[in-house]
Chain A
């Protein structure tokens, strides 16, 4: 298989994975949403190799296909977190580079990045990052730079990097109070509820929600 061909396979697996997450994995959506040229042929190649199957006009990954997709999606989303949140790069830069990096990174490097970032469960867009071998052991050899809000020192400030709250409603509610990625948040209290201050607005949240707000510590602290 030529290298370009394996990239096409990986891209297609990633596409089906992403659309399945959104519940929109119809063949039409897969083919029209793909940035590959002749996406229909790529999809055919996938089914031919037993990586995907079509059922009732929907594309599904087989177990084999899922293995490929999980690895590529993991590398893509980890790269996004690294670029966007730690290196503070713009979306248009991160997206194109992440698309290239996802095919190059070895799983070892991906695990190192994952550990460095504190095993982030979600990408900057709120989508889940498939877990890797490193997440199972949760080694803490590298002091993570990005931590859940309650792990900040009391009274210290961190910049919100991403929120992983499950419900969109919760996300929107905290956003309307000014808790969005990019803004500074200060931890005022951990129990009985977590209290944080973003700007001059003070908000109390469940500890569970607070743990879904990830902040980047000031490295100088």
Chain B
């Protein structure tokens, strides 16, 4: 596997860019952290960079990239933390971002590896070598490896791979100083895999056709031969049409002669080569044979996994729905905004402007500050903060993939796979944000189904808080009727959508990382990053929504809508006429609508059946303005209109059916 001659060839092919970074002994210009998923990259990133970190989405994606700087010998060296990846031929949006970051401009790669799983890491090292990138290899979590009886001959590995190797335990800050020192000696790994005659021939035909880039032509050639379509635009911008056509011919020729997809043949050989190298440096002692730890096995147990999942979701609700949505919102909305900020702003605006219009626009019942900002900052922000913190705990502990395993079959009925658990759970926090994260789903069909289901039947935590409060005043029977009506609707609509919408369900393939204790600093950093995103992306939508409502109110549209809604509310749903106002408000804020019902129930205007019917309709009802605008942004106005046009009559239909069924059965709730 080791061949210095081949390495020299790689370097010559990489258009001079790597000589700069490969020159040992210099402080690197720029460092990128690269590694397989769940190897502790971001914890290490936090240790290396300290406080000055910015998190942004990679352009055109939802993938978060952390950037910071580390001080090396008095110089600030920019560091970027890339999403976990298994290779440079991307299989997901995350992996694509990592590849693009490396393709953008040359940098020194700090590869973080899970010391327990060296063969898998070395398969990636091999690809970095093919790309001609100067690397340092960090064997992280070496304590876990040790306790499993896995020992690695670091000296030998460093010699064979031709790169500095450092063992670390990032969570205990061990080995970081050594790692920083090693960065000066980063080199292109001396690893080389021979892919056999047909592939190697195709590579040598491909190399002269390819444009110069920051990565070596061998890596590019292998990617093109693997039919990596995501490279298409990059190549089209840089290659002459005749070269492009010739490259396509070479790839097609290889596909014909191989009798299996080239990507597979290449990956297979890489894993073989990595396995051979690992076998020379890894010694597995006693205790290496690991049985599934008891708790770990229980979390995906076909029977016990479900109560555990229910318990975790209940804890999530307590933290977000009670602590966030009730306690924290109480302080901030009623206390800070209700008593201090809103009166102050209103007074200031009225003093400044004699006209009603600008004053109302800022501080009226539908004012940008009194409604838009209050809603965004006083009600949703505390929920979002607690939710994202809890969500990061679920993520970092490794529990989310286990939840996906448990719910995979249920989601399968709805044309989805277990991965959809992420946006669906996120929807319990904020449907608007969950709608955005549907981008992680593999197919267009799944994205559309999840967006529809989020809009239909996943109550956000603000709404859920009010609904549960109202149900608590009724009876457990009422709660059961409400929950089954909503859950039944979601499953039914999902099932129908899976059959009606064109396209395919993506097959479920998910890595299950070991359960781990999350690292607090990392949790806080992640939460801060996501809250920052919320402030930047979602708050403008809340303001826009408020503006629309303000305009509707001023033009008299709001009143007319309310009157138009009345017959539906009274005759079909059997509810009092005043409740139509609550439904309209529910369009702006789902919880506000529920709060309107809460007030009606408190006044004794709703009997138990009416209360349950109105809650079901409110839950299924049209998504809030912000969510609808997000659907427009993600799927286009037509899709948003289609969602609204379906959800509204469907909610009324379910409510009508429930009303008549409960009345006919003479149910006492």
Q: Which residues of A contact B (CB under 8 A)?
A: 22, 24, 33, 124-127, 155, 165, 167-178, 180-183, 188-189, 191-193, 195, 199-206, 208-209
Contacts and interface: CB of A to CB of B under 8 A. Distances in A.
Contacts of A191: 302
B395 interface: no
A126 B268 CA distance: 14
A75 to B, nearest CB: 16
A204 B302 contact: no
A173 B509 contact: yes
A180 B268 contact: yes
A200 B116 contact: yes
A83 to B, nearest CB: 14
B525 interface: no
25 contacts: A125-B260, A126-B260, A126-B264, A127-B259, A167-B507, A168-B261, A171-B264, A172-B89, A172-B91, A175-B264, A177-B509, A178-B120, A180-B264, A180-B267, A183-B275, A188-B292, A192-B408, A193-B508, A200-B116, A200-B120, A201-B120, A203-B509, A203-B512, A204-B510, A205-B510
B296 to A, nearest CB: 9
Q: What 7 pairs across the A-B complex have the smallest Cβ distances?
A: A125-B259, A176-B86, A125-B260, A200-B117, A202-B512, A206-B508, A191-B302
B457 interface: no
Interface in B90-124: 91, 114, 116-117, 119-120, 123
Interface stretch (B334-342, B398-406, B572-580, B626-634): B398-406
Given A192-B408, A205-B507, A182 B268 contact: yes
B261 A126 contact: yes
Contacts of A181: 268
Contacts of A209: 507-509
Interface of B: 86-87, 89, 91, 114, 116-117, 119-120, 123, 256, 258-261, 263-264, 267-268, 271-272, 275, 291-292, 297, 300, 302, 305, 401, 404-406, 408-409, 412, 417-418, 507-514
Contacts of A195: 300, 405, 512
Contacts of B302: 189, 191-192
A202 B511 contact: yes
A33 B516 CA distance: 54
A35 B632 CA distance: 57
Contacts, number: 120
Contacts of A189: 297, 300, 302
A175 B267 contact: yes
A200 B404 CA distance: 20
B669 to A, nearest CB: 34
Nearest to B305: A192
A208 B409 CA distance: 12
B87 A206 contact: no
A28 to B, nearest CB: 13
B117 A205 contact: no
A195 B292 CA distance: 11
A166 to B, nearest CB: 9
B654 to A, nearest CB: 29
Nearest to B290: A200
Nearest to B409: A192
